[in-house]
Chains A and B, each alone.
Chain A
């Protein structure tokens, strides 16, 4: 199973769901020639989808957020959009903390530029990303007392992780102290251009008591004395050399630490939580990610791996079946695209129910993109699920189907309203929402019970406004609120 496995219709829906938002019937029909072809061909199709660097400008943080969401709703560049969401969580920056909308615009440009490029270059770009430099205090890093905030997260979150896949520590506090020295004096101009203020830089000659500028002393594949980051001279080059050293770090299995951890996290994003080490190693070696650092190649390797297709499993589910909880942004964007619902105006108001802005719906669900809760990004999987966030999802679903007067939600544009058989109607609705193959027969029966009032009305006339408004709109809400629809 792998590269040459033939894909089915269900596989294709899964591929498009996990690498985009939907898929809508249009997304699907463009790709349906892939059914019967290999996973490799399908992966190349996804990799070949349009890409464009998003320039989300605005006077306020909210403008940037809304332009970003609007871009996702258009769905012209789904694969890179989805991948950028991963990197936004990975290199987490909160717009409200940074509070410089122009910096967030540049930050997003950085993500779109590097999201599928070279990971080492990406991290070097993040070193000098204005929003990140403000968010994690690089701009406050002075030679007198080096600030450890960015250096710690660089190691812990962006590259190595505190522990490797065997639970062994990847670095010591002394490494953080040394790395902090490299970043002393880095500042940013008003237009977002970074520069080194040499007056605030820690030069070895000024601070001999801090020792030689080196990390990973006699550990992690480095010799006694460690790897020096002044090999290209002191000053500007140090923060690049530090990254080169981190990318040479070996874990307790003697494997490349950054490659393994990055692959692990991408697998968690595109497939499911806690993949086995063997799967991680297979996608790293298959893509040579530990030497090429080519993100696109790594994701392609994930997309042809059995692990990627595991969450597409159909019922009955067993204890070892893999599933993943949809991110709120995925839930909102996919649902709006699948139901052909539009948000109105600059503030992206969803015109139903409470007439909330999308940012409020998303906030209630626990994910305002551009404003993660902390540098750790969001807590995935079970972390998305609580009574509060479920009710936020239900409210959003209710507001979608409530949007009748302005005509935004029109079931007749989505399915055949001449259907009268409750089973066929239920199937048509679950087809629109893409969960037909995820429901057990008992769950399908519950949907039919709802339509027929437990069998009291075995035939439905969707031409009757009351039946349409109550039962069909209700069924859409029920499916959007169902357990199966929260997962993928």
Chain B
């Protein structure tokens, strides 16, 4: 009973004749294709740690050569000693050097990065294999302490609040430049489309689980499937051509959805059948991050095996719970921060083992970010909102190591909010990394956009003093 593409196109064509603007169901093969597919045969996965990850307890000073361990202890020993992670408790890489470039301070990871699960080594082991770039001190000028404002700033790559890019995401602007509104290249593992993937059109799917992504038909409608779907398609094509913005958005979303409900759900069974060992391994981890990454793995498996109608290259998922105002915990395995780090570390390690086994290990890069770090001094057993923190870029093609400087946590260097200070001063050993340089390096070296295109179409430079604003880009950070 499956409807053929030809039948669809025929009907869509009839509808389009009545409405000059209506786009065809399968994306315009014309205009947009003048550009090259710049990501080529690669994949980009964006993982958002939602709530503000405590960077100071994620990448931790473990020696006092520059006085940083003393400052760390001062900040995290108060309130009953709750949050401090000692050098002995930290997970310390032994093969690839892990040292702060600015001060030479030795660094370790939160103990949750070391896996206790058989066959998995966690992010610590991946770091030692040279597949993890830690980018320290990432942030932006005039930081916001609001979850929502800061998250939107990151997702839109728009600290200056420019109206022209206020409703689209940084990855979404790349997609909008390269692909037609019905050419689906992005997938968010969620109910709603992630902010960084928002585009002016809709070329992004939100999929929670592939197994539930089929178009729902009643038994009787199934007997009538062709005309039913044709009529659906006609209604949505008509709406897609509407001048009214929300009507048009619903129209395009519905058209892309119908097409994808034909091509995406079979990927679920294909993966289960052909990669059952990995399928089970994600299930055994049992965490939401593991389950979400498994959905991405299914899609990548489908794309890399050439399944028709499946072309996604950009993925986004998130893990929540990082807003640790209370019950954060230090090195205790039952603490909330420990559980969060352990969940992500194990799931990411398994995901890359899966990618390697699929033969696409060198084709997948993951970037991990959070909307802000947390306050340097702790409160009783938690931390309030903060400023710059670490990002991670992960994959076989990544040049592992530490990039960017640790923020200056000396109490005298903190601002009036007791947060670390954003700096772009070239001679400052604590110079921050603007997060746009990280995304820009990804776009330039992984997605192959030109610097000019990135600056013009994705992220314009700030206007302001060079020492405190992002006025000069560095899209060659070196991790790719």
Q: Chain A interface (Cβ within 8 Å of chain B)?
A: 137, 140, 142, 144-145, 147-149, 152, 156, 162, 167, 173-174, 176, 317-319, 321, 323-325, 353, 364-366, 374-376, 379, 381-392, 394-395, 397-399, 401-402, 440, 442-443, 446-447, 449-450, 453-454, 466, 469-471, 473-474, 477-478, 481-484, 486-487
B19 — which chain A residues lie within 8 A by C-beta? 442
Q: How does the 8 Å CB contact mask read for B223-267 relative to A, with 1 for contact and 0 for none? A: 110011011101110110011111101110110110011000000
Q: Which of B145, B217, B250 contacts A325 (CB 8 A)?
A: B250
Q: Indicate if the CB atoms of B253 and A385 lie closer than 8 Å.
A: yes
Q: Which of B188, B260, B380 contacts A140 (CB 8 A)?
A: B380
CB distance from A170 to the nearest CB of B (A): 11
Which 7 A/B pairs are nearest by Cβ-Cβ distance? A386-B206, A483-B239, A317-B244, A450-B231, A145-B379, A387-B257, A388-B206
Q: Indicate if the CB atoms of B246 and A387 lie closer than 8 Å.
A: no
Q: Which of A379, A392, A442 has the most CB of B within 10 A?
A: A442
Q: Indicate if the CB atoms of A443 and B238 lie closer than 8 Å.
A: yes
Q: List 7 A-B contacts (CB under 8 A).
A: A142-B379, A147-B325, A162-B144, A391-B261, A392-B191, A446-B235, A481-B232
B249 — which chain A residues lie within 8 A by C-beta? 382, 385
- Please report the C-alpha to C-alpha distance between residue A486 and residue B232 in the assembled complex, in whole angstroms: 14
- Please report the C-alpha to C-alpha distance between residue A443 and residue B241 in the assembled complex, in whole angstroms: 12
Q: Which of B312-342 contact A (CB under 8 A)?
A: 325-326
CB distance from A58 to the nearest CB of B (A): 25
Nearest A residue to B190 via CB reads A388
Q: Which of A388, A399, A470, A487 contacts B191 (CB 8 A)?
A: A388
Q: Indicate if the CB atoms of A389 and B235 lie closer than 8 Å.
A: no
CB distance from A210 to the nearest CB of B (A): 12
CB distance from A187 to the nearest CB of B (A): 14
B205 close to chain A: CB less than 8 A:
yes
A353 — which chain B residues lie within 8 A by C-beta? 216, 218
- Please report the C-alpha to C-alpha distance between residue A104 and residue B224 in the assembled complex, in whole angstroms: 46
Q: Which of B352-408 contact A (CB under 8 A)?
A: 377-380, 382, 384-385
Q: Which of A174, A376, A453, A482 has the most CB of B within 10 A?
A: A482
Given contact pairs A148-B385, A450-B227, A470-B220, A366 touches B192 in the complex (Cβ within 8 A): yes
B164 close to chain A: CB less than 8 A:
no
Q: Indicate if the CB atoms of A389 and B18 lie closer than 8 Å.
A: no
Q: Chain B interface (Cβ within 8 Å of chain A)?
A: 15, 18-19, 79, 144-149, 161, 188, 190-193, 204-208, 212-221, 223-224, 227-228, 230-232, 234-236, 238-239, 242-247, 249-251, 253-254, 256-257, 260-261, 325-326, 377-380, 382, 384-385, 416-417
- Please report the C-alpha to C-alpha distance between residue A164 and residue B228 in the assembled complex, in whole angstroms: 48
- Please report the C-alpha to C-alpha distance between residue A394 and residue B254 in the assembled complex, in whole angstroms: 10
Q: Which of B18, B242, B260 contacts A387 (CB 8 A)?
A: B260
Q: Indicate if the CB atoms of A446 and B221 lie closer than 8 Å.
A: no
- Please report the C-alpha to C-alpha distance between residue A353 and residue B216 in the assembled complex, in whole angstroms: 9
A454 — which chain B residues lie within 8 A by C-beta? 227
Q: Is the interface of A mostly helix, strand, loop or mixed?
A: helix
Nearest B residue to A363 via CB reads B191
CB distance from A460 to the nearest CB of B (A): 13
Q: Which of A317, A386, A392, A398 contacts B217 (CB 8 A)?
A: A398
- Please report the C-alpha to C-alpha distance between residue A45 and residue B214 in the assembled complex, in whole angstroms: 44
CB distance from A349 to the nearest CB of B (A): 17
- Please report the C-alpha to C-alpha distance between residue A324 and residue B244 in the assembled complex, in whole angstroms: 11
CB distance from A282 to the nearest CB of B (A): 24
Q: Indicate if the CB atoms of B145 and A469 lie closer than 8 Å.
A: no
Q: Which of A383, A386, A478 contacts B205 (CB 8 A)?
A: A386
- Please report the C-alpha to C-alpha distance between residue A307 and residue B144 in the assembled complex, in whole angstroms: 33
Q: Indicate if the CB atoms of B238 and A446 lie closer than 8 Å.
A: yes
A390 — which chain B residues lie within 8 A by C-beta? 250, 253-254, 257
Known: A147-B326, A394-B216, A446-B234. 16 other contacts (CB 8 A): A152-B385, A319-B245, A321-B243, A381-B246, A386-B206, A386-B253, A388-B206, A440-B238, A447-B231, A449-B231, A450-B230, A473-B221, A474-B220, A483-B235, A483-B236, A484-B247
Q: Which of B18, B208, B245, B326 contacts A388 (CB 8 A)?
A: B208
- Please report the C-alpha to C-alpha distance between residue A384 and residue B206 in the assembled complex, in whole angstroms: 11
Q: Indicate if the CB atoms of A474 and B221 lie closer than 8 Å.
A: yes
CB distance from B187 to the nearest CB of A (A): 9
B161 — which chain A residues lie within 8 A by C-beta? 167
Q: Which of B19, B191, B256 has the most CB of A within 10 A?
A: B191
Given contact pairs A376-B148, A388-B205, A440-B238, A446 touches B244 in the complex (Cβ within 8 A): no
Q: Which of A144, A385, A446, A474 contacts B224 (CB 8 A)?
A: A474
- Please report the C-alpha to C-alpha distance between residue A324 and residue B246 in the assembled complex, in whole angstroms: 7
Given contact pairs A386-B193, A388-B206, A453-B227, A174 touches B416 in the complex (Cβ within 8 A): yes
Given contact pairs A137-B326, A162-B146, A453-B227, A147 touches B218 in the complex (Cβ within 8 A): no
- Please report the C-alpha to C-alpha distance between residue A386 and residue B184 in the assembled complex, in whole angstroms: 13
Q: Indicate if the CB atoms of A162 and B217 lie closer than 8 Å.
A: no
B213 — which chain A residues lie within 8 A by C-beta? 387-388, 391
Q: Indicate if the CB atoms of A323 and B218 lie closer than 8 Å.
A: no
CB distance from A389 to the nearest CB of B (A): 5
Given contact pairs A453-B227, A454-B227, A483 touches B218 in the complex (Cβ within 8 A): no
- Please report the C-alpha to C-alpha distance between residue A370 and residue B327 in the assembled complex, in whole angstroms: 23
Q: Which of A365, A388, A483 contacts B207 (CB 8 A)?
A: A388
Q: Indicate if the CB atoms of B220 and A387 lie closer than 8 Å.
A: no
- Please report the C-alpha to C-alpha distance between residue A395 and residue B218 in the assembled complex, in whole angstroms: 9
Q: Which of A140, A387, A399, A402 contacts B253 (CB 8 A)?
A: A387
Given contact pairs A323-B246, A388-B190, A137 touches B149 in the complex (Cβ within 8 A): no
B219 — which chain A residues lie within 8 A by C-beta? 402
CB distance from B52 to the nearest CB of A (A): 11
Q: Indicate if the CB atoms of B191 and A442 lie closer than 8 Å.
A: no
Q: Indicate if the CB atoms of A487 and B148 lie closer than 8 Å.
A: no
Given contact pairs A395-B216, A486-B250, A470 touches B223 in the complex (Cβ within 8 A): yes
- Please report the C-alpha to C-alpha distance between residue A482 and residue B221 in the assembled complex, in whole angstroms: 15
Q: Indicate if the CB atoms of A137 and B325 lie closer than 8 Å.
A: yes
- Please report the C-alpha to C-alpha distance between residue A454 and residue B231 in the assembled complex, in whole angstroms: 10
Q: Indicate if the CB atoms of B221 and A386 lie closer than 8 Å.
A: no
- Please report the C-alpha to C-alpha distance between residue A152 and residue B228 in the assembled complex, in whole angstroms: 51
Q: Indicate if the CB atoms of A389 and B238 lie closer than 8 Å.
A: no
CB distance from A229 to the nearest CB of B (A): 20
Q: Indicate if the CB atoms of B218 and A317 lie closer than 8 Å.
A: no
CB distance from A135 to the nearest CB of B (A): 11
Nearest B residue to A373 via CB reads B320
Q: Indicate if the CB atoms of B231 and A478 lie closer than 8 Å.
A: yes
- Please report the C-alpha to C-alpha distance between residue A397 and residue B144 in the assembled complex, in whole angstroms: 42
Q: Indicate if the CB atoms of B231 and A364 lie closer than 8 Å.
A: no
- Please report the C-alpha to C-alpha distance between residue A483 and residue B377 in the assembled complex, in whole angstroms: 51
